[in-house]
C-alpha cells in the first residue's frame, strides 16, 4: 500500500508520531483542558495546571489551543505538553508580555509582581502576527530517556503548531537551570533570549529566572528543509 502525503509537513507529522511509537510512546491530544486537568491529576498529582491553560480564566478550544499526552506501553502517562495562540493583536510579543506577564505565571509559585522583572529581547520586540505559546512540557522518564525523547517531542510540537495555525512565531519560557543544560536546543528552539524574566517570590529572597526560546516561521521551514532520510522508514 502506498500513502500519499499532502505536504512535507504532513509527511513529517506522520513520521514524528511513528518515530515516537517506535520509542514506545503513544500520543493522544485534545482541546478540552478540564480533561487535561484530570489527566494531570493522574500523571502529576503534585503539579497544578499552568496559568496559561486554565480554562476557568481563558477561552480555550479547538481553534486556539491543544494539549498532548504521551502514554508508554504499559498505559502510564509519561509526557505532557500544550500550546495556544496568543492574542497579541497589533502589539509585538514584547509589548504583550509587558502588559500581560501574569498570563504566563509559572505553576506552583507565589509570585511577587512588584519586584518581578521582564526584560524583552530584540526577538520579542520583532515578533507579531500569529504567535503560539508552548508550555506544560514534562517527560516522566529517566534523565537519559527523557533527553532522547525531547527532540522527537519538540519536533511534534512544532509540526502540530504548523498544522493547526501556521504561526509566524512559536515561543516558550524555560527555567534558566534547564536552558543551561541544553534543554532548549534538544527541544528544537533555534533562538534563545537569556534572562528574559526574573520572577520574585513572595516571602523569599529566592528568584526564578527564565530564558525565552523561540522559533520563527522561517526557522521552522528551514528545519523542515533539512535532510530527513532517517525519517522515511518510520513514516512508510
Q: How much of the chain is in helix, strand and coil states, percent to nearest 5?
A: 40, 30, 30
Q: What is the pLDDT of residue 233?
A: 35
**Is residue 134 packed enough to be buried (19+ CB in 10 Å), middle (13-18) or exposed (0-12)?**
buried
- For 168, the 3-state DSSP assignment is coil
Which pLDDT does position 11 carry in this prediction? 66
Q: What is the model's pTM?
A: 0.89
- CATH number attached to the domain at 8-231: 3.40.630.30
| Number of C-beta neighbours around residue 62 at 10 A | 10
Three-state SS for 54?
Answer: coil
pLDDT the model gives residue 4: 46
Domain extent listing, the chain: 8-231
Instruction: Return averaged pLDDT per consecutive 10 residues of the chain, 236 residues in all.
Output: 51 75 91 97 93 96 97 94 94 96 92 95 95 95 75 89 93 92 88 95 92 93 62 35
Q: Note the pLDDT of residue 6.
A: 53
| Helix axes of 143-165 and 8-22: crossing angle, nearest 10 degrees | 150
Q: Which residues contact 92 (CB under 8 A, 6 or more apart)?
A: 124, 125, 126, 127, 128
Q: Which residue has the cell 502540530?
A: 160
Beta-bridge partner residues of 135: 82
- Provide φ and ψ at 195, rounded to 5°: 55, 35
Amino acid at each position: 500500500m502506498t500513502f500519499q502525503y499532502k505536504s512535507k509537513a504532513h509527511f513529517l507529522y506522520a513520521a514524528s508520531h511513528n518515530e515516537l511509537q517506535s520509542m514506545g510512546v503513544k500520543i493522544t491530544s485534545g482541546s478540552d483542558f478540564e480533561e487535561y486537568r484530570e489527566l494531570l491529576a493522574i500523571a502529576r498529582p503534585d503539579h497544578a495546571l499552568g496559568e496559561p491553560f486554565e480554562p476557568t480564566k481563558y477561552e480555550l478550544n479547538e481553534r486556539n489551543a491543544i494539549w498532548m499526552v504521551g502514554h508508554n506501553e504499559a498505559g502510564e502517562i509519561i509526557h505532557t505538553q500544550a500550546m495556544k495562540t496568543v492574542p497579541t493583536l497589533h502589539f509585538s510579543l514584547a509589548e504583550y508580555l509587558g502588559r500581560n506577564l501574569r498570563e504566563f505565571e509559572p505553576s506552583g509559585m507565589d509570585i511577587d509582581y512588584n519586584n518581578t522583572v521582564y526584560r524583552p529581547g530584540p526577538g520579542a520586540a520583532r515578533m507579531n502576527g500569529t504567535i503560539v505559546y508552548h508550555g506544560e512540557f514534562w517527560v516522566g522518564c529517566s534523565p537519559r530517556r527523557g533527553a532522547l525523547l525531547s527532540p522527537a517531542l519538540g519536533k511534534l510540537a512544532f509540526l502540530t503548531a504548523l498544522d493547526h495555525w501556521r504561526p509566524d512565531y512559536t515561543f516558550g519560557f524555560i527555567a534558566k537551570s534547564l536552558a543551561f543544560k541544553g534543554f532548549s536546543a534538544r527541544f528544537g528552539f533555534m533562538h534563545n533570549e537569556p534572562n528574559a524574566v526574573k520572577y520574585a517570590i513572595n516571602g523569599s529572597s529566592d528568584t526564578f529566572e527564565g530564558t525565552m526560546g523561540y522559533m520563527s516561521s522561517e526557522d521552522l521551514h528551514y528545519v523542515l528543509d533539512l535532510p530527513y532520510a532517517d525519517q522515511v522508514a518510520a513514516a512508510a
